[in-house]
Amino acid sequence: MHGPHSMGMALLGDPEVRLDRDATVTMDAAKVRRVDMTAPQPTEATYQRLEYSRAMGGGVWRDYMETQTSYDSLWAQPTTDKVTHGDFYFGARWRREQPVLEVSTTTSDFTDVLRQAGVTPLPRGDYKLPMIAAGDGASTDYAGLEARGKAVVVRRNDVVSDADQAAAAVTAGARLLLVVNNQPGRAVRSYAIAPRHPPPSTLPSSVRTRAPGFSARLPAAVPRSGSDPSRTALTSTT
């Protein structure tokens, strides 16, 4: 739903298969349809679950699969006919909450922002911050940058750790750290800074986004200096 790094969870199968002769059961992921729910106000899923129950001949078979934030969508293969023996039940469950942080620019609303662990939440309110890019988020990537009071965008990578990205942003005086994810799914990682660093009082929040277009446009859309008027708009409900 949010690019090639998104992960969706799907239920495929046929609830009624007669095995009195050779048979072929087709599980075609191309036929799945999204299962979703809506709420009157904007929400984000913090828990999702797919489940089914099949009762027949005095026996009951049931199973479920659940996820918190790793998967951003649920899917199921539609059944072609109603079962003629027993009962079949399919269900989906969500826990949807008010988003703790919403991020947008003048051209894009980022709908897959996920606040990470080990961070200090922004106080409730609306913010408009200048936005700059700091590469991989190492301390050396801030050379020549004026990051104080700004939203800093960095890439998740295997060279600079999450804690080191946070520490570098704190040292540079960043107001917000935005991390562009490069891995499948929506992982919650810890950006807690080691005890040798001061507490992240100037780093209220660290979030991750998987939007590939954002990542691809990063050099052009996010300046490396503070002179560009590019801004990011934030709404915190914490």
pLDDT at 184: 87
188: domain CATH number? 3.50.30.30
217 and 140 inside one domain:
yes
211 and 125 inside one domain:
yes
Q: Is the pLDDT of residue 203 over 50?
A: no
- Helix or strand run (H / E) with residue 221: helix 218-221
Residue 1 lies in a domain: no
- Helix or strand run (H / E) with residue 171: helix 162-172
Please tell me which residue, 130 or 226, carries the higher pLDDT value. Answer: 130
Q: Considering its fold, how many domains does the chain have in total?
A: 2
pTM assigned to the model: 0.76
Candidates 41, 64, 191; CA nearest to 116 is 191
54 and 160 inside one domain:
no
Q: Is the pLDDT of residue 215 over 80?
A: no
132 and 92 inside one domain:
no
Q: Which of 55-64, 140-149, 229-238 has the lowest mean pLDDT?
A: 229-238
163 and 62 inside one domain:
no
Range of the domain at 222: 101-236
38-55 per-position pLDDT tens digit: 899 988 888 999 999 999
Of the residues 47, 67, 97, the one at which a domain ends = 97
196 and 167 inside one domain:
yes
182 and 124 inside one domain:
yes
Residue 2 lies in a domain: no
Place 196 in a pLDDT band, splitting at 50, 70 and 90.
low
User: Token digits for 54?
Assistant: 């099949």
